[in-house]
Structure 1
Amino acid sequence: MTKFIYPKTGIIILAAGNSSRLGRAKQLLDFEGEKLLQIAIDMAEDSLSNANMVVLGAYKDEIKKSIDFQTSEIIINENWSAGLSSSMKVGLSAMIENHAVDQILIMLSDQPFVNKELLDLIINTQLESGKGIVACRYGDTLGVPVLYTKKYFEELMQLKEKEGAKKVIFNHLDDCEIVDFDQGKTDIDTQEDYDDLLGKKA
C-alpha cells in the first residue's frame, strides 16, 4: 500500500475587501449560526492544510472583534483597495516567509458551501495527479478554491493589481486538474445574493 507524503500546504483566505456592492462587511454575515469568515476559517483548520492565514484590510478592526482567529494567522493588506490579487500577493509573501510551504490553496470568505471535504479533495487531487494547479469548476468557469504548487508562486507574484489569480489557471490549463464544485457559484456580493442564500437555507 502506497503511503503518500503530503506537500506542505498553506491556505490563504482572502477577506480584505470592503464589500462595496453590499454596503457592509460580508465577512461578518450570518449563515446557519456562524459568520461567513468564521465558517471559512473553521473549514481550513479542519482540513489537511499545515498553515492557515487570513488577509484582512477594510473592516479589519470590526472583523477582529467578531471572529476567532486562534487557528489562523492574520495578515493586513493596507493596499486592499487595489483588488484581490493585491491581497493574494500579501498572503503568499507571508506564507512563503513564515511557513516555507510547497503549495498554497486560495479561498474566499464568501463561499459558504466550501467545506473540509472539498479542501481535502483538492489537496488529494494534486497529490494523485501531480498537476501544478487544481481548480474548481462551477457554471462555465474555473476558480476558487484553487491550489497552486510553488512552481507558480513567482508568476502569481507578478500579477498586475487588477489581474486575478484566475489568469494563471488559464495560462496553464495543460497543468490544471479540475474538481467539480457546483455550489461554488454561490458567493455573496449583493443583498440579493445574501437573501438568496438565506432562502436556500430555509
Structure 2
Amino acid sequence: MKAGIVLLAAGGSSRLGRPKQLLLHQGKTLVRRAAETAIAAECGPVVVVLGAHREAVAAELTGLPVHLVEHADWAAGPGGSLVAGVRALTETSSVDAVLIMLCDQLRVDSAHLTSLVDTWKRTGSAVVASSYDGTRGVPALFSRAVLPELEALTPEQGARGVIARDSSRVAEVGLPGGGEDVDTVADLARLR
C-alpha cells in the first residue's frame, strides 16, 4: 500500500500581505520546510501545487525530488488547488492513498506524516485525519476509494468537508498545536 503526498502551496496569502510560502522559519522558507518534511516521511511521490508567486515559490524547491504542478486558477479557492494536486499525483504514479498537507502548519513533522500513513495501513480506514483543538483536519490521508470525493470539490471547498462527511470511516492521529498556522507575521513570531 503506497501513499503519495500533495503539498498545497498555491495561495495568495491575502491576510498576510506577502507570500507566506516564502516566510523564513528557522532559516528555511515555509514551503521548503514543508517539502523537506514530506520527503523525509518517505511515503511516496510528493506533488507541490503552485499558484500565486509561482516562480519564486518554485525557486525555493530547487534540487528537491518533488513534482511541481501549476494551478492557474488558484485565486478561486483551495478546492481547485487540491483537485489539481490529486489529479497530478494519481495520473503520474500508482498510489493507494493521497496525503494532503499545507505549507504553514509548523507543528507538522515527518514523524506525524508517517504516523498518518501507518495508521491507514494498520486500520484500513478510508480517511486518516489529524486531530487538534477538538476538530479533525489536515494533514489528512485519503484512500483511493475517497479520491472521487476530493476530485468533486468546488474551488471554495477544502478537504475538511470530505473528512466530516462520514465520521465512521475516519481514524485520527493527534497533532498537538496542529491548528496553529501562519496567517500573520505575529503568528510566525509566536510559533518560533
TM-score higher than 0.5: yes
Q: Is residue 86 of structure 1 aligned with residue 112 of structure 2?
A: no
Q: Is residue 191 of structure 1 aligned with residue 174 of structure 2?
A: no
Gaps of 5+ in 2: none
- Please give the secondary structure, in 2, of the residue aligned with 1:147: strand
CA distance in 2, matches of 1:152, 1:25: 31
Identical positions, percent:
35
- Please give the secondary structure, in 2, of the residue aligned with 1:183: coil
Q: Quick check: which one's helix share is greater?
A: 1
How far does residue 95 in structure 1 lie from its aligned partner after superposition? Answer: 0.7
Q: Is residue 31 of structure 1 aligned with residue 29 of structure 2?
A: no
User: Where do 1:25-174 residues align within 5 Å?
Assistant: 25-174=19-168
**TM-score for both structures, normalised by structure 2:** 0.96
How far does residue 195 in structure 1 lie from its aligned partner after superposition? Answer: 2.4
How many residue pairs get matched?
A: 192
Aligned to 1:19: 13
CA distance in 2, matches of 1:143, 1:17: 18
**TM-score for both structures, normalised by structure 1:** 0.92
> Contact conserved, 1:8 with 1:50, CA < 8 A, in 2?
yes
Q: For each residue in 1:46-104, what CA deviation from the matched residue of structure 2 results, as whole angstroms up to 9, or x when unmatched?
A: 11311001000000111122333521100000000111111000011111110121100
Structure with larger Rg: 1
Moved over 6 A (4+): none
CA distance in 2, matches of 1:154, 1:20: 30
Pairwise CA RMSD of aligned residues?
A: 1.1
